[in-house]
Amino acid sequence: MNDLSLRQDILDELEFQPNIDAVHIGVAVENGVVTLTGHVPNYAQKIAAERAVKSVKGVRAIAEEIEVRFPSDFVVADDTIASRTLDVISWNTEVPDDRIKVRVQAGWVTLEGEVDWQFQKEATERAVRKLSGVKGVTNLLTLKARVNAADVQRKIEDALKRNAAVEAHGIHVKVTGGTVRLEGKVHLWLERQAAEQAAWSVPGVYKVEDKLTIG
């Protein structure tokens, strides 16, 4: 697929998504590398735009430079954002709220602390993204380490074989402590994401180094 066709596919996908106002999003493509520019009205749309582009066949990499611009009369104070963040975390029964600390500066939320599972780390960030006034999220939550490297590797390899979206024979798994390194080649970005998610789903994994290439 040439860059011009890929750019049109991306524009069509952004327009297709009902939760994205794509009118102010710019798209440039060079050798399969996509650069997104412009602005959106909230952080959730920024994340949604990036996810939509990753789903398009032919995308090899993304440089995401979209800004979050709120209407000039819409300002939420940092202390209000911090309070709302603590509330949504405490309401989420999946997340151990007593172990999470929140910092907010100029609308940017930083999450710190320790959780037991990767899905808890992801659930916390997803909840915060949707809050009014949030311009970005830095997720520094860490996972408790409890690993047997050989057992972790076996479970990841088994999970990859079960996953219909992944051609497991092209992926090599290396485990050191709680760190998983994925190497090899996949055909689609979504396949790469599925492989990474499979690695994160195994208990004891606290870091995934995704070195998979797309081609």
> What pLDDT, on the 0 to 100 scale, is given for residue 73?
62
What are the φ/ψ torsions at residue 145 (nearest 5 degrees)?
Answer: -90, 130
Average model confidence (pLDDT) across the chain:
88
Asked if pLDDT for residue 3 goes beyond 70, the answer is yes
Whether residue 62 contacts residue 36, with contact meaning beta carbons closer than 8 Å, is answered with yes
> What pLDDT, on the 0 to 100 scale, is given for residue 146?
64
The dihedral of CA 177, 178, 179, 185: what is its sign? Answer: positive
Query: Cα torsion at 214, 119, 136, 139 (round to 10°)?
Result: -100
Choose among 184, 67, 203: nearest CA to 195. 184
Confidence of residue 97 (pLDDT cuts 50, 70, 90): confident
Asked if pLDDT for residue 168 goes beyond 80, the answer is no
> What pLDDT, on the 0 to 100 scale, is given for residue 113?
93
Range from 19-33, 156-170, 200-214 carrying the lowest mean pLDDT: 156-170
- What is the second-level CATH architecture of the domain 78-143? 2-Layer Sandwich (3.30)
Same fold, 3-68 and 78-143: yes
47-72, pLDDT tens digit by residue? 999 999 999 999 989 999 999 988 76
> What pLDDT, on the 0 to 100 scale, is given for residue 169?
82
In terms of pLDDT, which residue wins out, 7 or 75? 7
Confidence of residue 79 (pLDDT cuts 50, 70, 90): very high
Residue 53's Cβ-count burial label (10 Å; 0-12, 13-18, 19+) is buried
Q: Helix, strand, coil % (nearest 5) of the chain?
A: 40, 30, 30
Length of the chain (residues)? 215
3-state secondary structure string, 83-131? HHHHHHHHHCCCCCHHHEEEEEECCEEEEEEEECCHHHHHHHHHHHHCC
Supply the CATH classification number for the domain 3-68. Answer: 3.30.1340.30
Asked if pLDDT for residue 112 goes beyond 90, the answer is yes
> What pLDDT, on the 0 to 100 scale, is given for residue 199?
87
pTM of the predicted protein model: 0.58
Q: Is CATH 3.30.1340.30 the classification given to domain 149-214?
A: yes
| Spatial separation of the C-alpha atoms in residues 213 and 215, rounded to whole Å | 7
183-199, pLDDT tens digit by residue? 998 888 888 888 888 88
> What pLDDT, on the 0 to 100 scale, is given for residue 72?
67
Q: What are the residue ranges spanned by the domains of the chain?
A: 3-68, 78-143, 149-214
113-161, pLDDT tens digit by residue? 988 888 889 889 988 988 989 999 999 998 876 667 788 888 888 888 8
Which conformational region is residue 183 in: left (phi greater than 0), alpha (psi within -120 to 50 degrees), or beta? beta
> What pLDDT, on the 0 to 100 scale, is given for residue 94?
75
Asked if pLDDT for residue 75 goes beyond 80, the answer is no
* Residue 18 DSSP symbol: T
Asked if pLDDT for residue 80 goes beyond 80, the answer is yes
β-sheet bridge partners, residue 214? 186
